[in-house]
Amino acid sequence: MISALISWNRPCSLFRSFYLRAVEAPRDVLVFGGFRGYAQVGGHEMKGSSYLAGLSMLGLLAATAPAHAQQATGEISGRVADTSGAVLPGVEVTLTGPVLLQPLTTITSESGTYRFSELTVGQYDVRFDLEGFKSVVNRGARVTLGTTTAINVELDVSTVEETITVSAEAPIIDTSRVGTRSSFTQEQLQDIPSQRDPWGMLSRAPGVAMDRVNVGGSQSGQQAGHISRGGNTANNKWLVDGVDITDQAATGASPVYFDFDAFEEMQFSTGGNDVTQQTGGVGINLVTKSGTDQFRGQGRLYVTDERFGSNNLTDDLRTEGAKSGAPIQNIQDYGVEAGGPIYPGRAWFWGAYGKQDIKIGVVNFFKRTEGCPIDADDPLASTLPIKDINNCLEADLTTLNNYNMKGTGRLFEGNTVSWHSFFADKVRSARDASDTRPIETTYRQEGPVWTHKFSDRHVFNDRWLAEVQVAHVGGGFSLLLQDPSLESVQALEDIGTDRWARAYRQWSIFDRPATSVDATSNYFLPATLGGDHAFKLGFRWRDTPTTSQTLYSGSGAVAQIDDGVPARAQFYRNAISDAELTTWAFYAQDSFTRKRWTLTAGLRVDRQEDGLKPSTIDANPIIPDWLPAVSFAGAKSGVAFTDVSPRLGVNYDVSGTGRTVLRSSFSVYYGQLAPTGSARSNSGLLNTVSSTNVIFPWDDLNGDLQVQRNEIDEGTVIDFGGGGGWDPDDPTAEVTSPNSVDPDLRNDRTRELIAGIDHQIGNSMSVSFSYIYRNYDNFAFSKVVGISSDDWVPVDFTPSDCIAGARCPTLTYYEPMINIPNVQRRQNQNGYSRAYNGFELAFSKRMSDRWMADVSYAYNDAVERFDSPDDRVTVSSDTLGTGDPTNFDIFNNAQYAPEAGGSGIDNVFQNTKHLLKASGQYRLPLDISVGAVFNSFQGYIFPQRVQSPDRANRAGRAWLYLDPYGESRYGAFSMLDIRVAKRFNFGGRMIEGSMDVFNVGNVNTVLTRNLNQAASTANQVTGIVAPRVIRFGLRLTF
């Protein structure tokens, strides 16, 4: 990172001349110029002409703004006055702290203001000196992620040298805050019960809805999907130490898993993002620890075991299909992190190692052991005692290994370089384990990833700093079958119950590296145009090539039965996507402060372009004349998105004391592309070697439940898909994709308006209210060319043989009067939009009088609207882009609820109108503390449905939903976690013993059921909250 600052001679105009002068300064103090800009670099005076030449080499990197959405830093700023209130220019302000390699010094401007930008999170001492006045030292000022810590002081006149020392009380309210975000410091990370991963902390962030409930680590080692403000996961952003590491293929996900104790602080942004963040999704900003001039570190061991757990499975739940619970079997979490000086004041080191072994049980996921049930239908599953049935659960084992290494050094005065490498490896024994996926149909997941980051920051003076970061993420992982021998086994799928047997249909290998360069520069211009300006300019380049290879087991055939009866044969051809995506971004922002007003205005420009490289795939070995070998020459859509995103925030300090602030913001965001796939890739539907499948009727003539070619009716194509334009009417034709991309295609857009008020109560409490409105539009989809809603006719359907308690009314589905064409066009859904209205209430109290707390309530209302079935697209639909009117009234003007689809979770439809979250800690005498977390939300959508028969003209089957989306829901969820800890201090060391009790009430809320009302397993429970469990911990700090 390169850092730079400029000070102008009486800064009334950017065009005034300035000069540099040498100053006397201690060797280890970086002195910044005052009114007549100067900088001392390495002890040598820089002349104006050479300085300007240096600036030209930096290009246009100039400017500074408050740290916000995606910054790995914070800042300290303020105003200095005398006891009469008159501002004091020329005051020397010196900043020191354990996280600084060298002290920083600045001089107050003509308006008495000063600013230290891009500060590492941590505690600082701020000293104020001016001849003729008493010096003031403000100790322990805390800088947190993305916030501005305001320290305003008054200096008394004095005829003798005198220093007054005060304890810093950081302001509760950040008067420059324009968005909605939450930060978690070390106290909140370590002293309050948590699942010890970033996703667990996300579950405590106001307004964020998760796709799973993690009880004490029962879902740790897996990525929890998360949404906020009517958005979806594809526009979420992940940053580590300011570097964007977002997985662009699994768009919006993290490419790695983390060592929780490697982090100093976490911040989550849910709205009002400044120009540093491209999208309007949740911004996850993680900052790792670092070395200091003092050697320090910590080690930990946490153990969770089923011996310390309870049972929350009842006879009623067993009757409803949950034959077992979902207990934690054993979790071990241990590691160490430490850092210190290599050469005090010059170079530091820091390193960490962490390991987690996580073994959990999954509802109805049984061992293949004598005396244990085969599945939920086995009579043993209903007759075995609960303790015995839980002992029959197969272990879903996840192992996480993490290494971190970081070095920081000062090459010369004002310059800091840093190198950070971390290694993350995840191995999971049974990904996608569930009651419908026995062990032989689950995946083994493997995925070691190295990440490297180099940064260089140079500070020129107290007005200008610049920073450059270069990073590489070696992303990728594999989803493998349980044993290589299963590659030749034909999968058996029951399309009525969604159960798999024998093997799963595919395995995949993903390579997802990412290389990026970030350059930013900050410039502080005080006392200009009636106020202070904090400018920021930035540039980002990111290259994310992706190779995804999918191979199909059993010679690419799947035998499909319908509630046990042979019905269909589905054939696949292997698939590959060798894709590339390059993005560029440039942004500029000015935060202008005048009296009580703060105006933040910014502009961001993003350019994204994707493409596909040449690839070749083999024919399906059973039906090579239907699915032949294909050589793909590569393709580009011809469409590159160039998006201009304005951001504006206006804040007003009502009292002038920072205790009551009115704030508002308007923002425009655009979506991030993916390098592969058709959902978020512009070139994806041009890929002729993508996944291709065709379905025929199947008559199992020999009764072996194995598809042979002589058993299929090749004269009837029930359904087909994929293949970049594969034509079932001419399957052996030389394939050049007939698909196309609209040259006027636009990127999906989010427009956001936030209005709110923050108010401080006393010295340690605050309340806030935010109203949020969002409008989402310009979505892209693959429109099937040559068919519209006018080509579909209604058919009434009444399911038969429904079990007791199932809902099987007469419903209407639609089928086409013509064959579904094979040609698609990627274009905008001009008749589709999504609107979000919501508000958020929050209360916060920082640690004082022995206690701290955070409480929030969020109301959410996200509604989808379609002008016609021709515009319809939803993640819950099987009829994307065909104009199929089936379910149109179900989804139109109804709640938006994306289905979770990551890390082994599905059948979860994320939408809740009410989210209540609370956390806090109370410190008792004798170094005993009690912490607690409470989460409550309205149950997610329970979209009961039935499946239509096979429809004419290759339309396949459709899910028919019974209720408008959002009307039928699971029961509300509420859970309390409690932590008790005792500390022992001796000789500069601390040992802490802790006990965390998760799911104190042992709730057993149903999370998922079988949705198919016409199945023999209709409404059976497939997922419940894990039972109460205790975690014991031991932590040593030194």
Half-sphere exposure of 39 (CA within 13 A, CB side): 27
614 in a domain, yes or no? yes
Q: Which domain holds residue 700?
A: 562-786
Tell me the pLDDT tens digit for each residue of 848-905.
999 999 999 999 999 999 999 998 864 444 446 899 999 999 999 999 999 887 776 7
Task: Specify the higher pLDDT residue, 9 or 365.
Answer: 365
Q: What percent of the chain stands above pLDDT 70?
A: 92
**pLDDT at 69 (0 to 100):** 52
Q: How confident is the model at residue 762 (pLDDT cuts 50, 70, 90)?
A: very high
The CA distance from 691 to 828, in Å, is 23
The CA distance from 280 to 839, in Å, is 17
773 in a domain, yes or no? yes
Q: How confident is the model at residue 362 (pLDDT cuts 50, 70, 90)?
A: very high
675 in a domain, yes or no? yes
Tell me the pLDDT tens digit for each residue of 534-557.
999 999 999 999 999 999 999 999
715 in a domain, yes or no? yes
Q: How confident is the model at residue 338 (pLDDT cuts 50, 70, 90)?
A: very high
Q: What percent of the chain stands above pLDDT 90?
A: 79
**pLDDT at 163 (0 to 100):** 76
DSSP state of 55: H
Residue 760 has pLDDT above 90, yes or no: yes
Q: How confident is the model at residue 71 (pLDDT cuts 50, 70, 90)?
A: low
The CA distance from 986 to 683, in Å, is 63
618 in a domain, yes or no? yes
Residue 159 has pLDDT above 80, yes or no: no
**pLDDT at 37 (0 to 100):** 34
Tell me the pLDDT tens digit for each residue of 394-427.
999 999 999 999 999 998 888 999 999 999 999 9
Q: How confident is the model at residue 47 (pLDDT cuts 50, 70, 90)?
A: very low
The CA distance from 438 to 504, in Å, is 10
Highest mean pLDDT (candidates 7-16, 26-35, 110-119):
110-119
Residue 40 has pLDDT above 60, yes or no: no
Q: What integer is the mean pLDDT of 688-703?
A: 95
Residue 212 has pLDDT above 80, yes or no: yes
φ, ψ (nearest 5 deg) of residue 25? -145, 145
Tell me the pLDDT tens digit for each residue of 900-954.
877 767 789 999 999 999 999 999 999 999 999 999 999 999 999 999 999 999 9
Q: What integer is the mean pLDDT of 201-220?
A: 95
Q: What integer is the mean pLDDT of 471-498?
A: 96
Encoded tokens for 315 = 């006879």
φ, ψ (nearest 5 deg) of residue 440? -70, -10
Burial class from Cβ neighbours inside 10 Å (0-12, 13-18, 19+) for residue 340 reads middle
Q: What integer is the mean pLDDT of 432-443?
A: 94
Domain count for the chain: 1
Number of other residues whose CB lies within 10 A of the CB of residue 975: 20
Q: What is the mean pLDDT of the chain?
A: 90
**pLDDT at 189 (0 to 100):** 95
In this structure, the strands spanning 237-240 and 283-288 are: parallel
The CA distance from 775 to 863, in Å, is 10
Give the H or E element holding residue 380. helix 380-383
**pLDDT at 880 (0 to 100):** 67
Q: How confident is the model at residue 158 (pLDDT cuts 50, 70, 90)?
A: confident
Burial class from Cβ neighbours inside 10 Å (0-12, 13-18, 19+) for residue 44 reads exposed
Residue 62 has pLDDT above 70, yes or no: no
**pLDDT at 46 (0 to 100):** 37
Strands of the sheet with 692-697, listed across from one edge: 499-501, 491-494, 557-562, 565-573, 692-697, 719-722
Cβ atoms of residues 540 and 275 within 8 Å: no
Residue 15 has pLDDT above 60, yes or no: no
Burial class from Cβ neighbours inside 10 Å (0-12, 13-18, 19+) for residue 329 reads buried
221 in a domain, yes or no? no
**pLDDT at 876 (0 to 100):** 42
Residue 70 has pLDDT above 90, yes or no: no
**pLDDT at 900 (0 to 100):** 84
**pLDDT at 162 (0 to 100):** 74
**pLDDT at 169 (0 to 100):** 67
527 in a domain, yes or no? no
731 in a domain, yes or no? yes
